[in-house]
Amino acid sequence: MKNILIFNAGSSSLKFALFSLSKNPIKLLFGKCDRISHKKSQIVINNYEKVIYKKIPNFKKATQNILELLNTKNIHFDLIAHRVVHGGNIKKTSLINKKIIKIIQKNIQFAPLHNPQELEIINYCKKLKKPQYVMFDTSFYSNLPLISSTYPIPIELSKKLNLKKYGFHGISHKFVSQNLKGKTISCHLGNGASITAIKNNKPIDTSMGLTPLEGIMMATRAGDLDPGLIIFLEKKGYDVNKILNHKSGFKAFSNITDIREIIAHQKNPKIKLGLDIFIYKIIKYIGAYTAALNGLDNLVFTGGIGENIPQIRKRICDNLSFLGIKIDKTKNNKNSEIISLKNSKIKVFIKKTNEEELIAKEVYNIIWKTKYQ
């Protein structure tokens, strides 16, 4: 049986997992390289084995250290797969070749916090001379309705430059919604955050757009704002990209971006304001998507914040009580899988996302079809 190693890069961390390649993949190992480019970095395997480094400067070095660590443990794999944020118009999981590399490079302009790192990892792994596959966050949204994916700017300009809503966190949203019927809103809440409206397992709208900057407020990203503000700041000579991608969101209110610290310091008026805005934006999107779906059957919370912070889920659900949402306080505090009461009109779930497992399944399906078609 073949094994597949999967890399899942964030903006400052690199997750990895080893699966047996089958219709129902079995996770053999998982880990994370944390605090890349910080003074102290670490690699954690299976939640208990920890290796501390003085500093891992970039994703290339992080990949090298992970592979060396696996080698010392005699852990072997036959294939490699990657989660990449922006794949343009690619609809399916793909074998990496020169064409795919060019597409990842081309879309760096739309995902500057992610695509460069992911490309760095892919290029480093070439030396292993093993087949590499990629699954794009954008693939889940490749058939979004025109009504939600089209920006109301000159159509000739949109076509010429491929300007449209691509959507992100698609692998996560697909994974947590795959067994739910009817009308679903999934909330992927973490350092990056997005909300997706799904009808009969197909997305009809999502909060992120041409780039991962659109939508709700995030750790360092602004989310939705008046485009006139961008024009104004550019005229004044400010580095708008740096402000909106790196200095906004929770970062705009303090230097704290870790949600656990934000909760702990929420008596600070500035920090409280940032938290209140974050929750308010989420409530607005859920309300809007409930209208777009013409009703709601399931509400899903996932991601680091969505899975682990009861206070935020409670505040969101309490503000949506007019929809008939009722949650069980005890189950919510325990981060149970279902936190809605039996008489709640809408089922409310906490689902742990597993992008790596979905990627392993997708690669298996490609290989199986290629072998037997």
Active site residue 318: no
Q: What is the largest CA-CA distance in the chain?
A: 62
**What is the Cβ-side half-sphere exposure of residue 128, based on CA atoms within 13 angstroms?**
20
Beta carbons within 8 Å of 224's beta carbon, 6+ residues apart: 214, 215, 216, 281
Q: How many CB atoms lie within 10 A of CB 231?
A: 11
The DSSP bridge partners found for residue 199 are 183, 202
Strands, sheet with 202-206, edge to edge from the N-terminal-most edge strand? 202-206, 193-199, 183-189, 298-302, 347-350
Catalytic residue (one of 137, 205, 224, 328): 137
Beta carbons within 8 Å of 229's beta carbon, 6+ residues apart: none
The DSSP annotation for 10-26 comes to -SS-EEEEEEE-SSS-E
Strands, sheet with 49-53, edge to edge from the N-terminal-most edge strand? 49-53, 41-45, 26-34, 14-20, 3-9, 79-84, 132-136, 94-95
**Euclidean distance between CA atoms 97 and 152, whole angstroms:** 35
Q: Tell me the three state secondary structure of residue 87.
A: coil
Amino acid at 222: A
**Catalytic residue set:** 137
